[in-house]
Structure 1
């Protein structure tokens, strides 16, 4: 099995169609079809069920999926290790919550580029649950998530601590006035959404409805116009362009503090490009816990 063929297999499995896989791989559709057929012939099994709606994995395809990801990941890890030794070039794929990208990452990226001026950074914004899945599948190299996460093949360490606050329109002065407001949040899988729903319920402020928004600026814009309320890190609220129209309500209790953790695969934290990125994070924003 060739690495190129396995990458093609993984792309089709991820996107579900030959057409989109070809577009993302920057090749013609016939190449994708030929590689998949060649892999099936080599293994003596059908890897996909084909229909008008696309391609879905067979039982054999599901078995191959994890092995293929491991092979492609191992090849990438080897390249990253060599890049680390050369101290030049390289790519680090970073997954992060949108709020962290907006407030914490810019100075860290600048510090990383000062260490590795020839390196490239590829950013992917997603909720915490999606980021974990992206890391485990090898589609990002490191991820910044809300809260800790335990996995035998991953290392997790806190790098920032965020203080959660309740955000309302400036006309809302008390938590009680927020009782009937809808909660505006990211979609399921966001650690801040989970905190918001839990905190509101515990404090008798569960909203009548939940509105999902796809972007951080969309959430803050809706709060600023009185559409609803949200809970987000103080760092986000205080730097928002909507700050003048938003009231920040302090929360009580130690649970309002949530660690942002850097997670990555075991063995990559000390040397190479991942080690340099980790060092930039920790040097620019050393973790300070609430007393």
Structure 2
């Protein structure tokens, strides 16, 4: 039996789409269909319910998927047992939030190329909400994001490791806010408040500050960190972001940090399935090391490590 056909069936069950399965396996929809048909012919059963508009496996198809996953896991173990000292290799699909792009993603990619050259990182940058949904459907091997994913960990058997913590502070052009005093809610109600996307934890924390007040604040949400930075530099409003994004502007006095209502820090975590491939474990271990080095170099004023660097 061709294990590539079994892999195709498992992927089709996870993604519920011939098109997305073809993209994930770097092939065509026609090739995916032919693999499923060949598997059905070999087993003598129908695996896909073709009477439904939405893609759905038959009851027997669902049973075959369970067995196929076990066979693929055994195949992986067999290959590892034959070459136990082989370096980890293959594609690792990583979903990351933009905060990581603006901090330690570049040193991570450089170090992956240097230390794990047989691994191909496939990076997707998106909001935490969108990334979680894709991770839930197993479109990523690793998820690096900032919102709570305890439900994903419990339901899908994921391992979640805290990496670092960024303080969330109020930042603006000096002329935008009242001078030399701690900001009050009424100060923040007079100017636009800039923060992350509408589905993000940081935005929810900002909104919660104004719960029950008569005045509705102007909370402007952006999925792009760069958009928040540019608007803040342009004097459009006050930003609730990690100050590490604008270290140079703060040092030059172009922007300033202001005291105000406390906001929870942004905690970055990495998640992956417990039964994941050795390549994913290797990338996770290297990520922890890179983050620990980044935090030590930047200093706790800007970011603090939550996971010690793993032993080599």
Q: Tell me the TM-score normalized by structure 1.
A: 0.70
Trace 1:218-237 onto structure 2 (pairs within 5 A). 218-237=227-246
Q: Give 3-state SS (helix, strand or coil) of 2:168's partner.
A: strand
SS of match in other structure, 1:219: helix
- What is the DSSP-based 3-state SS (H/G/I as helix, E as strand, rest coil) of the residue aligned with 2:106? helix
Determine which structure has the larger strand proportion and give its number. 1
Equivalent residue number for residue 260 of structure 1: 268
* Equivalent residue for 2:166, pick from 149, 157, 162: 162
C-alpha distance 132-206 of structure 1, shift in aligned 2 (>3 A): same
- Judge conservation of contact 2:48–2:61 (CA < 8 Å) in 1: no
2:300 aligned residue: none
Q: Give, in whole Å, the separation in 2 of the partners of 1:284 and 1:237.
A: 16
TM superposition shift of 1:95: 2.0
* Secondary structure at the counterpart of residue 221 of structure 1: helix
- Name structure 1 gaps, 5 residues minimum: none
Match of 1:31 in 2: 31
Matched with 1:119 is 119
Aligned twin of 1:44: 46
73-82 vs 28-37, greater mean Cα deviation: 73-82
Counterparts of 1:10-89 in structure 2, within 5 Å, are 10=11, 14=15, 16=17, 18=19, 22=22, 25-38=25-38, 43-44=45-46, 46-47=48-49, 56-57=55-56, 74=73, 85-87=85-87, 89=89
Structure 2 contact 94–140 (Cα < 8 Å) conserved: yes
Aligned to 2:290: 280
The equivalent of 2:191 in structure 1 is 181
Deviation by residue 1:166-223 (Cα, 9 ceiling, x = unmatched): 2345432244443143444443432322233224548988524x54434221232233
1:146–1:192 contact (8 Å) kept in structure 2: no
Q: Given the superposition, is the C-alpha separation of residues 104 and 79 from structure 1 closer, same or farther in structure 2, using an over 3 Å criterion?
A: farther
Q: Structure 1 CA distance, aligned partners of 2:221 and 2:158? A: 30
Distance of aligned partners of 1:116 and 1:198 in 2 relative to their CA distance in 1, 3 Å threshold: same
Task: Rate the CA distance shift 1:244–1:70 in 2: closer, same or farther, 3 A.
Answer: farther
C-alpha distance in 2 between matches for 1:128 and 1:285: 22
Equivalent-residue separation in structure 2 for 1:213 and 1:64 (angstroms): 44
Matched position secondary structure for 1:103: coil
Would you say how many aligned residue pairs link Structure 1 and Structure 2? Answer: 282
- CA separation of 1:86/1:68 partners in 2, compared to 1, >3 Å: closer, same or farther? same
1:37 Cα deviation (Å)?
A: 4.6
CA separation of 1:121/1:4 partners in 2, compared to 1, >3 Å: closer, same or farther? same
Alpha-carbon deviations, 1:120-173, whole Å to 9, x = none? 322222222333343343322222221554324222222211000123454322
Following superposition, the deviation at residue 234 of structure 1 comes to 1.7
Structure 2 CA distance for partners of 1:2 and 1:88, relative to 1, 3 Å: closer
- The structure that has the greater radius of gyration is 2
* TM-score using structure 2 length: 0.66
CA distance in 2, matches of 1:235, 1:76: 45
CA contact (8 A) 2:104 2:290 kept: no
